[in-house]
Amino acid sequence: MWEWVRSLPADLQAGVEAPAITLEGGPYTAIVTIGMGGSAFGAEVVRAWSRRHLAVPWEIIRDYRLPAWVGKHTLVLAASYSGTTEETLEGVEEALRRNAPVVGLASGGILRAWGENGRLKGFIPLPAGRPPRGAAPLSMMAQFRLLEGLGLIPSLWREEIRALFPLILGPAQPDNSALKALSEQWQHHLIVIYAPSEYECIALRARQQIQENAKHLAWHHVVPEMNHNEIVGLEYPAPLSDKVAVWLLEGSHTHPRNRLRMRFMEGILQERGLPYARWQAPESPYLAELLWLFYSVDIFSVYLAEQHAVDPTPVPIIDRLKAHLAAQA
């Protein structure tokens, strides 16, 4: 897994240097990404950044069924790294029945076959040989390039990613020793990730990577919403300090009121004696901060896997589930 985590700078550099992807069609009234797990995650970062630029809504569907409003003016991005994810394939078939334009992103499988035989509106091949979560940066770059080529977002994303390289390759790169120390301290705790809404996609990435790479239970919530519910639950089962560790992920693009909320949260964690860490991206363009945090949580998840002496790459229980479902087909 280290190989794919550490390939992030090269993956991003290749995407920044590649041309926009052109595709006939449009205009579109909405965007839908269909995908699961790591295959779907690339859309999370692109969507988070694009909210400030897109004139149409964008929804990510992690299920078999599509909303009723998906139709011929909806751009459907089907993200399945393997090309065989059953939820995604069923969603694609439904989208095609509704005459929605579908663009596939896959390294192989049925989705790639559909793309190559012309069943889809477009197809973007992804390099094979990685677990889906390790290919998230590849999918991310493909979606940026596609949306730029469609005229839905500006090319500014390229400049913001270039601002990241001095951070992750220079003195401001994530502190590996601090991340390793956290993995040592938290290996026997459930890990709760809190982030302001602007950085929720990274809280999701942290949860997914901790779960898949380290086989370790984690969850996440977002500020301000968790201030209206979950903050009340930070009392029981007592003592929580023996059971839970909290990771606060932040950046400089946080709404000022959410920044106040995060500092209040920090005070509550101190009062309750809960182990926690605040992980702040160095001040930089929004996309650079997202990807700096992305890199950090990926590194942490592999260190945590090492603490448990588990191989971060295979996910045997998911393989068992797929075999079970296949037997019921």
pLDDT digits over 25-42, tens only? 999 999 999 999 999 999
**pLDDT by residue, tens only, the chain of 329 residues:** 999 999 999 999 999 999 999 999 999 999 999 999 999 999 999 999 999 999 999 999 999 999 999 999 999 999 999 999 999 999 999 999 999 999 999 999 999 999 999 999 999 999 999 999 999 999 999 999 999 999 999 999 999 999 999 999 999 999 999 999 999 999 999 999 999 999 999 999 999 999 999 999 999 999 999 999 999 999 999 999 999 999 999 999 999 999 999 999 999 999 999 999 999 999 999 999 999 999 999 999 999 999 999 999 999 999 999 999 999 97
Q: In whole angstroms, what is the distance from residue 201 CA to residue 221 CA?
A: 10
94 and 43 co-located in one domain: yes
183 and 145 co-located in one domain: no
155 and 19 co-located in one domain: yes
Domain containing residue 297:
175-307
Residue 201 lies in a domain: yes
Residue 244 lies in a domain: yes
7 and 147 co-located in one domain: yes
Residue 312 lies in a domain: no
Q: Which of 49, 52, 57, 53 is nearest to 31 (CA)?
A: 57
Number of structural domains (the chain) is: 2
264 and 187 co-located in one domain: yes
21 and 146 co-located in one domain: yes
205 and 135 co-located in one domain: no
12 and 151 co-located in one domain: yes
Is the distance from CB of 253 to CB of 289 less than 8 angstroms?
A: yes
Residue 169 lies in a domain: no
Residue 323 lies in a domain: no
Q: In whole angstroms, what is the distance from residue 297 CA to residue 308 CA?
A: 17
Residues in the chain: 329
12 and 100 co-located in one domain: yes
60 and 115 co-located in one domain: yes
Residue 265 lies in a domain: yes
Residue 327 lies in a domain: no
The pair of structure tokens assigned to 317 is: 């229980």
Residue 313 lies in a domain: no
51 and 93 co-located in one domain: yes
The pair of structure tokens assigned to 148 is: 């730029």
| Last residue within a domain, chosen from 119, 138, 162 | 162
**End-to-end alpha-carbon separation of the chain, Å?**
32
114 and 183 co-located in one domain: no
CATH of the domain at 288: 3.40.50.10490
| Last residue within a domain, chosen from 101, 135, 162 | 162
Q: In whole angstroms, what is the distance from residue 191 CA to residue 218 CA?
A: 5
